[in-house]
A and B are shown apart, each in its own frame.
Chain A
């Protein structure tokens, strides 16, 4: 029997460096495209070069004649698939082209150079149809979706918004817009598939190996146990690898046809049409308040686009449902289906663009009322969740603002815009609030006491850079009441069973819940005198029932964002000089990696505010700037010192007491910067990104 010391130091709360850190800094961590396989062949996608129509003919002879070419798959010869509930995966099934970049063929060859050269020799002729790719809020095809992502109400109405607006002392009525933004993780999507011992073995770059396994099983009409998906190290995702993407389907198809290992890796250019992106939005926000800045009405209507392949409506207007005590509250969504790639999740879908509009509108209200923006938000703190009346499990937004204002040096801020100068630079400061839901979903995990005294945890979690592997090890060690060194957490393997994917800030809470349950069960067995057999003693947990039984509380993380900017009116350049973000995120498992997550989110928020914008060509329907030179993401030189911290936020609704860190950092960041630009210049920027030309002509 294993005996425990009376008190074991707690691992949760320790600033541990990453368990896989040494592998990552030495180049030894292998990502999906980096596992050698004997006989490996390379697939290269031939993308559609029209935005709408049909493939009339594909001439593959020239390609097949090239050295090394093994096969060309297209809709005329590819294996048939069964719909797994995601039509973006039904590739090479018919002649329809729903958007530019849709795969019309896959060339497979013995080297990637051969496959790529052959792909250029495939001659496709199309029956082109007129396409419709230009998004606007006035589009005639705009409709009211049944629900918004993932399964939330399209609209909520509380009170009479129009009457309240008519009676308000002060009204802000403004329209905001955000462009197409692309997740652009640094690791392009890649999958290697092969058949071995009657199983489809797949190494894939994804945020949830179990979900990918389920999709592949359905698509290829296989028993789920005959599909094995692994994703040990993943080079970022931000939602773009949330579920299966076409590359893994194509790899599995080719491996099945050729009966040899096949790897399909997307090019950076292909990622702009095949893995999702954030829809452009147009948002009308109307805010009514009394003279003291108390909200009497808040109306948020968000427009976005989807594709004709799959309806995905970003939940942009849900932000206001949680945030402020307005007497009357209405949130609503409209969507239009265009001949464009399918938008999907991108870091804080809903809250990221929604907070830009609402938190900008509140800044405009503060200006009109002559009230400090921090004070304005404090005056509108709700007692219960506004849209639902649900009690909050915890809500420490005010503490975030108090602490943030102190650290930033907000007190005594001169509210007048356009009056501070540092040489050619106009200076300004801005703030915004942030929130993101802290949900959990059912997951399974096992905990094994090994005969050598070590413990092994297995869970189909994914570490896309969040530090999940490390945080889960800390959680497991505490639940087992053993030192960290005795715990090994294995992740990224669909054989470990169902688990939440790494997305929606759901990971640590959901996985940690299952791990805690499994570890406690094992601890109980061991404490009860159970002996560990040579092949180990395993306890299993499935949190389905416990998650179901959680109280119906409004559980969210919160944050206060502060930014200082410098604006050069002669060039239009905006530089962020510093940012401070203070967050209420429940318990922090690992301060080192938590800080990285929050800073990373704020950095992407800066990038959203100033740089990111994919331009869709109305003539051809493709993203013109479809690479990392044209689609600018923040570089090192764009990013100033960013100070991040958190406040006490005890919230033990779930065992880990965590709320998730992946998204909250980006929420509100762009609004804080836009509000600071107003404070610097006196010009409101309601359209992102705040480009030099927009600054010059504002």
Chain B
């Protein structure tokens, strides 16, 4: 019997369910970019090394180049287009606004991934998750200071070298949220 190399799946992206006949080899990243024309999610390396493809899967950040599309069928995926501001007149998410105000980017190619990561960082912090630089992991409250932000944002490379402004933007958004 010939083995199936494709499947019909339902991909739920930004709250919209898409039925797709999909090659089993297709990554979530390529499904978004090539099949759904959601090109806000970027491909920098295709190997889980740069973070440009960061999306939220069930609210948690993930490198979409490392996920096969068939493996996320039925899960809720949020891309940069679902974070805010994609439609004309729609409000920006505070993290997006902070990136804009602080010039937390240059070429903008790493930016959707940075923003998705930053949104997740704020949630992870709010949930009390420590990081590798957290001094006292048992502390009542972990302060999201600059070293914490740097560490938590280090899965997202920015070759333009916008880190200094990215840290300022995330700190700003964190302040606005708390």
Give the B-binding residues of A (Cβ under 8 A).
17-18, 20-31, 33-34, 36, 111-114, 117, 184-188, 233-236, 238, 265, 267-268, 464-467, 592-593, 595-597, 599-604, 607, 627-629, 633-637, 639, 641-642
Taking CB atoms, residues of chain B closer than 8 Å to A465 are 105-109, 160
In Å, the complex CA distance between A234 and B108 comes to 8
Q: Does B70 contact A (CB under 8 A)?
A: no
Nearest-neighbor residue (CB-CB) of B105 within chain A: A24
Chain B neighbourhood of A636, CB < 8 A: 149-151, 153-154, 156, 158, 163, 166-167
Asked whether A238 lies within 8 Å of B159 as measured between CB atoms, the reply is yes
Query: Considering residues B30, B47, B81, B106, which has the most beta carbons from chain A within 10 angstroms of its beta carbon?
Result: B106
Structural contact, B108 and A29, CB atoms closer than 8 A: yes
A602 near B161 with CB under 8 A, answer: yes
Q: Which of B23-55 contact A (CB under 8 A)?
A: 23, 25-26, 30, 33-34, 37-47, 49-50, 52
A112 to B29, CA, bound (A): 12
The interface on chain B, measured as residues whose beta carbon lies within 8 A of the other chain's beta carbons, has a size of: 61
- Contact between A595 and B37, CB atoms less than 8 A apart: no
Do A627 and B81 contact each other (CB < 8 Å), given the known contacts A113-B25, A639-B163?
A: no
Are B50 and A186 within 8 A (Cβ)? yes
Minimal Cβ-Cβ distance residue in A for B108:
A24
What's the minimum C-beta distance from B22 to chain A, rounded to whole angstroms? 10
Structural contact, A633 and B157, CB atoms closer than 8 A? yes
Most B CB atoms within 10 A — which of A238, A597, A636, A642? A636
Q: Chain B: which residue is nearest A599 at the CB level?
A: B164
- The answer, among A28, A235, A634, A635, for a CB contact under 8 Å with B42, is A235
Are B43 and A184 interface neighbours, CB within 8 A? no
Residue on A with the closest CB to B33? A34
**In the complex the two chains form, what is the Cα distance from A375 to B81 in whole Å?**
54
A-B residue pairs in contact (CB < 8 Å), sample of 28:
A22-B85, A25-B97, A26-B86, A26-B92, A27-B79, A27-B112, A28-B81, A34-B39, A186-B42, A188-B43, A234-B107, A235-B108, A268-B44, A268-B45, A268-B50, A465-B109, A467-B106, A596-B103, A629-B47, A629-B49, A636-B153, A636-B158, A636-B166, A636-B167, A637-B151, A637-B154, A639-B164, A642-B164
**Chain B residues with CB below 8 A from A36, complex form:** 37
Complex contacts, B86 vs chain A, CB 8 Å? 26-28
Contact, CB under 8 Å: B159 / A186? yes
Contact B164 A17 (CB under 8 A): no
In the complex, which residue of chain B has the Cβ closest to the Cβ of A666? B161
How far is it, in angstroms, between the C-alpha of A597 and the C-alpha of B50 when the chains are bound? 21
Q: Please, which residues of chain B bring their CB within 8 A of the CB of A641?
A: 146, 164
Nearest chain B CB to A101's CB is how many angstroms away?
Answer: 17
- Residues from chain B with Cβ under 8 Å of A595 in the complex: 103
Nearest B residue to A466 by beta-carbon distance? Answer: B106
Q: Check A235 against B165 for contact (C-beta < 8 Å).
A: no
**Docked-complex contact B109 and A628, CB < 8 angstroms:** no
The reply to whether B106 and A268 form a contact with Cβ atoms under 8 Å apart is: no
Closest chain-B Cβ to A599's Cβ sits at a distance in Å of 5
- Residue B174 CB within 8 A of the other chain: no
By beta carbon, the residue of chain A nearest B146 is: A641
Contact B161–A27 (Cβ < 8 Å): no
B34 CB, min distance to chain A CBs, angstroms: 7
Q: How far is the CA of A233 from the CA of B158 in the complex (A)?
A: 16
Q: B154 touching A635 by the CB < 8 A rule?
A: yes
Complex CA–CA separation, A642 to B34 (angstroms): 39
Query: Is there an interface contact between B160 and A600, defined as CB atoms closer than 8 Å?
Result: yes
Is B64 positioned at the interface, with any CB of A under 8 Å from its CB?
no
5 nearest CB pairs, A to B: A27-B40, A603-B161, A235-B109, A465-B107, A465-B106
Q: How far is the CA of A540 from the CA of B68 in the complex (A)?
A: 52
A636-B154, A637-B154 are known; give 18 further A-B pairs, CB within 8 A: A18-B100, A18-B103, A27-B79, A27-B81, A28-B81, A28-B86, A112-B34, A113-B30, A186-B52, A186-B110, A187-B107, A238-B159, A465-B107, A466-B106, A593-B106, A596-B160, A600-B162, A628-B44
**Cα separation A233 to B152 with both chains bound (whole Å):** 28
Residues of A with C-beta under 8 A to B166: 636
